[in-house]
């Protein structure tokens, strides 16, 4: 599976020829200045919660790419009001079989409001089960025992977890999360973008390594094989 990092918690995965984008936040991100947002294509855009650092470029990107937006009911209703038409509402605990595989929405312990303070439904994580591999994107979340349910859904090939601390799990909790979800290959997100989430990457690598885990922090704009 190809994984492309667009900075912060924005990334894309290619499965069965479909490009699936997550949590679009590129134009406000100083660290992602090298990313040409107009060159990004997408068949689906999954949104974990309403916060601006996960939705800033959602409407423009969905309009230009004609991607289907998948998120919680409240975010999908909001997206419809912004003029988007290809929408798929889901909610925590539910799963759906898409043309690239099955996605189950799982609990994230966070909050979810739009920039103006309006209600953005419950935050979610997603477990992808596909013929080309399985992965979990936790979204913004605290470490939670709900993660123990993930290995019952799928044996993971990799997981995408926040490691920036302050608003989400930090390094220590992401390591504990990797143990709960029984996954050794972790791609870190939600770090370095702004002051509150700056981390020491070498130290993060060291701590994951010490725990017998692999932490991957691909450069912004780069694509890796996972």
Q: Kindly state whether residue 23 participates in binding Ni ion, applying the rule CB under 5 A.
A: no
192 contact choice in Ni ion, Mn ion, none (CB below 5 to 8 Å, kind-dependent): none
Task: State which residue, 19 or 110, has the beta carbon closest to Mn ion.
Answer: 110
Q: Return the structure tokens found at 64.
A: 């230009």
> What is the rounded distance in angstroms from the CA atom of residue 4 to the CA atom of residue 198?
21
Q: In this complex, which beta carbon is closest to Ni ion, that of residue 57 or of residue 140?
A: 140
Segment contacting Ni ion by CB under 5 A, of 19-27, 32-40, 140-148, 215-223: 140-148
Contacts of 95 by beta carbon, 8 Å cutoff, 6+ apart? 102, 103, 104, 105
Residues binding Ni ion: number (CB under 5 A): 2
Taking the least distance from each CB to Ni ion, the nearer of 65 and 193 is: 193
Q: Contact between 165 and Ni ion (CB under 5 A)?
A: no
Distance CA 78, CA 81 (A): 5
Q: Decide which of Ni ion, Mn ion, none touches 19; Cβ closer than 5 to 8 Å per partner kind.
A: none
Shorter beta-carbon distance to Mn ion: residue 27 or 66 = 27
**Residue 8 interacting with Ni ion (CB under 5 A):** no
Residue (157 or 194) nearer to Mn ion, CB: 194
**Span interacting with Ni ion, options 50-58, 95-103, 114-122, 128-136, rule CB under 5 A:** 50-58
The C-alpha atoms of residue 73 and residue 63 are separated, in whole angstroms, by 19
With CB under 5 A as the contact rule, the residue among 7, 20, 47, 51 that binds Ni ion is 51
Q: Which lies closer to Mn ion via its Cβ, residue 8 or residue 104?
A: 8
Kindly list the residues in this chain that would bind Mn ion in the complex (CB under 5 A): 51, 53, 140
- Contact status: 140 vs Ni ion (CB under 5 A): yes
Q: Which residues bind to Ni ion, rule: CB under 5 A?
A: 51, 140
């Amino acid at each position: 599976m190809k994984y492309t990092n667009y900075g912060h918690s924005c990334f894309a995965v290619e499965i069965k020829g479909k490009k699936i984008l997550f949590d679009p936040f590129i134009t406000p991100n100083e660290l992602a200045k090298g990313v040409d947002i107009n060159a990004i294509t997408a068949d689906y855009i999954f949104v974990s919660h309403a916060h601006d650092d996960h939705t800033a470029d959602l409407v423009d990107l969905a309009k230009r790419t004609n991607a289907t937006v998948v998120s919680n009911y409240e975010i999908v209703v909001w997206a419809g009001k912004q003029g988007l038409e290809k929408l798929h509402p889901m909610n925590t605990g539910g799963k759906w079989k898409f043309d690239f595989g099955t996605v189950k929405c799982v609990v994230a312990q966070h909050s979810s409001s739009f920039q103006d303070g309006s209600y953005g439904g419950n935050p979610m994580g997603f477990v992808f089960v596909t013929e080309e591999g399985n992965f979990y994107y936790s979204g913004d979340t605290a470490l939670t025992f709900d993660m123990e349910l993930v290995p019952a859904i799928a044996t993971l090939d990799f997981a995408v977890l926040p490691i920036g601390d302050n608003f989400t799990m930090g390094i220590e909790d992401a390591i504990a999360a990797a143990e709960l979800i029984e996954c050794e290959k972790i791609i870190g997100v939600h770090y370095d973008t702004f002051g509150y989430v700056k981390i020491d990457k070498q130290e993060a690598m060291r701590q994951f390594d010490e725990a017998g885990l692999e932490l991957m922090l691909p450069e912004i704009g780069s694509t890796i094989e996972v």
